[in-house]
A and B are shown apart, each in its own frame.
Chain A
Amino acid sequence: MTTPDAIDARGLCRRYGRRWALVDVTFRVAPGASVMLAGRNGSGKSTLLRLLATAIRPDRGTASVLGHDLVAGREAVRRSTALLAHASYLYEALTALENLRIAARFLGRETSRAALLPLLAEVELAERADDAVATFSAGMRKRLALARALLQEGRVVLLDEPYGELDPPGFRLVDRLFGVFKAQGSTVLMATHLLDRGAALCDEGIVLEGGRLRWHGPARDLPARGGLDPASLPEGVA
C-alpha cells in the first residue's frame, strides 16, 4: 500500500464572481515536504491555501489532502490541516489565553493555564496572556495566530504570509516555528514574498501568476530564475 501524497491537486479552479482566481492548478506534494508559494498580489496564493484548508470550495477540479478529498472528506482534511490565514481567527474582546482556550476546547486539548502558557511563551506573548487582543499590535496578533496554528498540530500546515506584519525577531520566530513543523513531520505550504528566506527553508517552490501555476521545482532554483520577481519568469519555465 502506497502512502498518499500530502497534497494532490488536479485542475483546481476557483472564481469570485466573474473573475477566475485559480485556473487549472495541478501539482503534487509528498508527505513531509515543504513548499514555498510565490507570486504577485492577487496571483491566487491565498485562494489556493484556503481551498486546501477547505475554507472555500473549488468550482472545478479536485484535490486531496493526505488522501482525503477536499469536498467528500472535508472533516478529515480539517482534522489534519492547520491554516494560518490572513484573517487572525481571533476575538478582539478576549484575552490571548482565552482565544487559545477556545481553540483548545474544540480540539479536545488541555485548556489549563499551565498547558497553554508554554504556547504563548513559544511566540513570546506569555507576558501578555491576560491582555485583550484588542490591545495587541498587528504583529502580536500574528504571533497569537501562529500559536493557535501550533496548537492544531496539523499534519499539513498552510501558512499564508507568515512574515507579514512581524518585526525582525518575529521573522526569526517564524523560521524557528517552520523548523518545529518540519521536525513534527508536517507538510508545510508557505505563501511568501520573501523568496530568499522561503527558498532557504523550503524544499520546493511554486509560482502562481494570474491564478495559473507557472513554475514548480526545487525552491533553491527559484530566486536564481528571474531574481526576486517570480512574475518575471519566462513563459513555460517548469
Chain B
Amino acid sequence: MRELAAALAKEWLLQRRALAQLLAVLVFGATALLLFSFAVGPNYELLRGVAPGFLWLALLLSSTLTLAESFQAEMEHRALEGQLLLPASPAALYYAKALANWLQLTLLGVALVPLMVALYDATLPRPLALVAVIALGAAGLSAPGTLYAAMTHQARSRQTLLPLLLFPLVVPVLIAAVKATSLLMLGDPMAQIRSWILLLLAFDAIHWSLCGLLFGRVAEE
C-alpha cells in the first residue's frame, strides 16, 4: 500500500503539471462531437438517437491521446526504469497510472455531456446514473489502455499502434457503454440496463486484475 500511495502521489504531481494537455484532449473530444453532429445534420430526432454512440466515440478517440501521453514523461529520461530499480512494485506503478487515466477519462466524459446535450438536443433524466456509466466505461478503457500504452510507447509508430491494439479489445466496453447510455437517455421500458452494467463490471474486473499482473512483464525489459 505504501508503494501504491507513493505512485499515486507521483501521478498527482505529474497531472498537476499537465493541465494544458488535459485541456487539449477536451478540445479534441468536443471537436469530434461537433463534427459528428455536422455529419448527421439538423434532424433532432436522429441526433438524439445517435448522441450516446457519438459521445462514446468521442471519448474513445480522445482516450488514445490521453493514454499515449501518459507514458511520455515516464520514458523521456527512463523515469519508469528508475522507479523499478528503487525498487518500486510494477503493480503499484500500473494501478496508479491506470487510476490517473481513469480519472482523466471520466472527467473528460462528464465534461463532454453538456456539449452533447446542446449539440444533439439530448435529455438527461438520470444525470448521476450517466456519470456512473461513464466511470465504468472509462475504467474499461483505461485498464487495457494503460497496459497497451506502456507496450507501444517505445514503438516508432505508437500513435497508430495503440488504437490498432486497443480498439478491437474494447469493443465490448463500447457496445455496453453505448447501450447503457442510450437506455438512460432514451428510456428503459424492458429494464435492460442492468445486464449492460454487469457486462461493464465484468470487463472492468477482468482487465483491472489481468493488466496489473501483466504490467511487470511489459515494463521490465
| Complex Cα spacing A107 to B78, Å | 18
| Complex Cα spacing A91 to B84, Å | 15
Q: Using a Cβ–Cβ cut-off of 8 Å, how many residues does chain A contribute to the interface with B?
A: 29
Could you say which of A34-42, A75-83, A169-177, A214-222 contacts chain B? A75-83
Name the residue of chain B whose CB is nearest to the CB of A90: B77
Does B221 interact with chain A (Cβ within 8 Å)? yes
Does B46 interact with chain A (Cβ within 8 Å)? no
* B residues less than 8 Å from A79 (CB atoms): 87
- Least CB distance, A165 to chain B, in whole angstroms: 13
Could you say which of A97-105, A181-189, A194-202, A225-233 contacts chain B? A97-105
Quick one: given A55-B85, A78-B85, A89-B81, are A105 and B14 in contact (CB under 8 Å)?
Answer: no
* B residues less than 8 Å from A98 (CB atoms): 13
| Complex Cα spacing A75 to B76, Å | 24
Contact with B along A45-60 (1 / 0, CB 8 A): 0000000011111000
Could you say which of B2-10, B113-121, B171-179 contacts chain A? B2-10
* A residues less than 8 Å from B7 (CB atoms): 106
* A residues less than 8 Å from B17 (CB atoms): 93-94
Query: Are A56 and B86 within 8 A (Cβ)?
Result: no
| Complex Cα spacing A46 to B30, Å | 47
Query: Are A108 and B2 within 8 A (Cβ)?
Result: yes
Query: Are B9 and A102 within 8 A (Cβ)?
Result: yes
Q: Using a Cβ–Cβ cut-off of 8 Å, how many residues does chain B contribute to the interface with A?
A: 25
Q: Which listed residue, B5, B14, B81, touches A91 by the CB 8 Å rule?
A: B14
Quick one: given A53-B85, A94-B13, are A106 and B3 in contact (CB under 8 Å)?
Answer: yes
Query: Are B9 and A57 within 8 A (Cβ)?
Result: no
- Least CB distance, B220 to chain A, in whole angstroms: 8
Query: Are B87 and A87 within 8 A (Cβ)?
Result: no
Count, A-B residue pairs, CB within 8 A? 75
Query: Are A56 and B6 within 8 A (Cβ)?
Result: no
Give me the interface of B with A, judged by CB distance under 8 Å.
2-3, 5-7, 9-10, 13-14, 17-18, 73, 76-79, 81-88, 221
- Least CB distance, A224 to chain B, in whole angstroms: 36
Give me the interface of A with B, judged by CB distance under 8 Å.
53-57, 74-75, 78-79, 81, 83, 85, 87-94, 98, 102-103, 105-108, 148, 152
| Complex Cα spacing A53 to B85, Å | 7
Query: Are B73 and A105 within 8 A (Cβ)?
Result: no
Query: Are A105 and B13 within 8 A (Cβ)?
Result: no
Quick one: given A94-B17, A102-B13, A105-B5, are A152 and B86 in contact (CB under 8 Å)?
Answer: yes
* A residues less than 8 Å from B221 (CB atoms): 55-57
Query: Are B85 and A93 within 8 A (Cβ)?
Result: no
Query: Are A88 and B77 within 8 A (Cβ)?
Result: yes
Query: Are A92 and B76 within 8 A (Cβ)?
Result: yes
| Complex Cα spacing A81 to B84, Å | 12
Q: Which listed residue, B13, B14, B73, B77, touches A87 by the CB 8 Å rule?
A: B77
* B residues less than 8 Å from A107 (CB atoms): 86
Quick one: given A87-B78, A91-B14, A94-B17, are A106 and B85 in contact (CB under 8 Å)?
Answer: no
| Complex Cα spacing A79 to B89, Å | 12
* B residues less than 8 Å from A55 (CB atoms): 81, 84-85, 221
* B residues less than 8 Å from A75 (CB atoms): 87
Quick one: given A78-B86, A87-B82, are A102 and B77 in contact (CB under 8 Å)?
Answer: no
